Structure 1
Amino acid sequence: MSAFDTHRHSDRRISTVFWVLLAICAASGWALWTGWGNTSFGVFLFVCAGWLVSLCLHEFGHARMALHGGDISVGAKGYLTLNPLKYTHPVYSFVMPLVFIILGGIALPGGAVFIERGRIRSKTKNSLISAAGPLSNALFALVLLLVLSQVNTGVHANFWGAVGYLAFFQVMATLLNLVPMPGLDGYGIIEPWLSYETRRSLAHLAPYGMMIVFLLLWNTTINNWFFNDLIFPIMGWFGHADEFAKYGDYLFPRLSLNFGGFGGN
């Protein structure tokens, strides 16, 4: 194997950090399944570790699509290793979304990978790069929801509640990511097709996009519509997934006010 091949392999080797997150998720899931330890703490570890895993997969989706689109720099930057510490803004991309989960029950996305857009020569490829992140959340949600759709028993209810709550966050993250707000992936999907003047006029909103969406969810009308008329009906397509999610929210140790859709249920 040449030095180039060795370096290329190391650029794509799954990081130890990601394996640790998977191990925490698996261990806490086993504890919930067997009834070992404190239930609330187990749900907390399972959901938070699972959420961080999904964030890694989200950013990997962006990077992998960028690689196929022509930005070969993503490998050298460590974006293909699933290591959250390699991303551009680990605080905004991982710490803050985790804080929003713990404090408010809101699955707000974060922007982490720096794509050299000048290397991407196609509007379609640029749109696909932005779409790859939400797609990873959607696939994660679909897998969890399909599993939950086959569960018709109260056995291991604590475990299934945690799975349902994690699925709830994946559905929420998918939908929030697709909001066409500057700074979010939904805007990134349509941005290549906008005029230069439009893109320039909206660019100043990008650093505040996440917080604007968060503040909009404080509005009672928007909050009720988003959760009660959108997320829960989607989860209701998959058996009792919505009920498992609500039970998981009940078990999850809330450290502050719940800004999500469970407060009024």
Structure 2
Amino acid sequence: MTYEPVSTRRPNSAFVPSPIFLGIVAVFAVSGFMAWTRFGNVGVDVFLFVVAGWLVSLCLHEYGHAVAGYFSGDHSVADKGYLRLNPLKYTSPLLSIILPVIVVIIGGIGLPGGAVWIDHRHINSRVKDSLISATGPLANIVLALIASVPFLARDFTFADPSDPHYAFWAALALLAFLQVTAAILNLLPIPGLDGGGIVYPWLSREYQRAWNLFAPYGFILLFVLLWQSRANEYFFSFVYFFTDRLGLDSGLIASGFDLMRFWS
């Protein structure tokens, strides 16, 4: 068996953010200003702000995997364009972008997306292998902490809907909530998810072969678990345990979700 050599020449633009990502960031910033000032239809403002913010987080999640892969030895991620934060470069834009956005709009939960493809033949350490999988959820954790800073500094428990900036705070609370759900879901030790990827390098060969058989069905298993009322209840209790400690009021999160679904 012959292996393809790892690319040793990094493209000059490898780490330059793509115009598509910059465009998403621009929409996020502009819609955030619109929600803050209640410009036009505030529901549309919140919808654009939450969806664009969620897209930015999805790109940063996958970017975390790619950067960790690059510095762990797989330089091919630079040739594939993974380091440019371009969502169209992912191995499965449907799983990485479209499906998670649809689930956010319909159900208000941060569904894990399909990861960038890392050539693990060039990763010579189990610790590095696990770190590559862990950096995606870590990005969600960092984003959740950043988005929660205003809520840790000020009590929004009794926020007044008549406040001119209420829609913005509700949307930001929802975004932080989505990051928490995404981090928790991604860290579940389920085949095919990042949590499974963290565990995988430490399994025996026999368990790895069995793990690989179930990996393509990880998403289905996740849906089945969340479909169960008891599991769903435990999951959201766990989520709210963390959001409460981040100062995120459940009522404000619910308001953000209601505002986002402006058509209902």
TM-score computed with the length of structure 2 as normaliser: 0.90
Q: Which shifted more, 36-45 or 57-66? A: 36-45
CA distance in 1, matches of 2:216, 2:105: 22
CA distance in 2, matches of 1:124, 1:109: 22
TM-score computed with the length of structure 1 as normaliser: 0.90
- Alignment of 1:64 with 2:73, yes or no, is no
User: How many Å apart are 1:148 and its aligned residue?
Assistant: 2.1
Q: What is residue 82 of structure 2 aligned with on the other side?
A: 79
Q: What is residue 11 of structure 2 aligned with on the other side?
A: 8
The root-mean-square deviation of aligned C-alpha atoms, in Å, is: 1.9
Q: What is residue 235 of structure 1 aligned with on the other side?
A: 243
CA distance in 1, matches of 2:91, 2:51: 21
User: How many Å apart are 1:7 and its aligned residue?
Assistant: 6.1
User: How many Å apart are 1:185 and its aligned residue?
Assistant: 0.3
Q: Which 5+ residue runs of structure 2 have no aligned equivalent?
A: 1-8
CA distance in 1, matches of 2:202, 2:152: 38
Q: What is residue 36 of structure 2 aligned with on the other side?
A: 33
CA distance in 1, matches of 2:18, 2:28: 16
CA distance in 1, matches of 2:209, 2:222: 20
1:46 to 34, 46, 49: 49
Could you list the per-position Cα deviations for residues 150-187 of structure 1 after superposition, in whole angstroms to 9, with x for gaps in the alignment? 23454311000000001110000000000111000000
CA distance in 1, matches of 2:94, 2:258: 28
User: How many Å apart are 1:240 and its aligned residue?
Assistant: 4.2
**Taking every aligned residue pair, what percent have the same amino acid on both sides?**
46
- Alignment of 1:91 with 2:99, yes or no, is no
CA distance in 2, matches of 1:255, 1:209: 32
Q: What is residue 195 of structure 2 aligned with on the other side?
A: 186
- Alignment of 1:196 with 2:199, yes or no, is no
Consecutive aligned runs of 4 or more in structure 1 exceeding 4 Å deviation: none
Q: Which 5+ residue runs of structure 1 have no aligned equivalent?
A: 1-5, 257-265
CA distance in 2, matches of 1:185, 1:238: 23
Could you list the per-position Cα deviations for residues 117-163 of structure 1 after superposition, in whole angstroms to 9, with x for gaps in the alignment? 00000000000000000000000001111222223454311000000
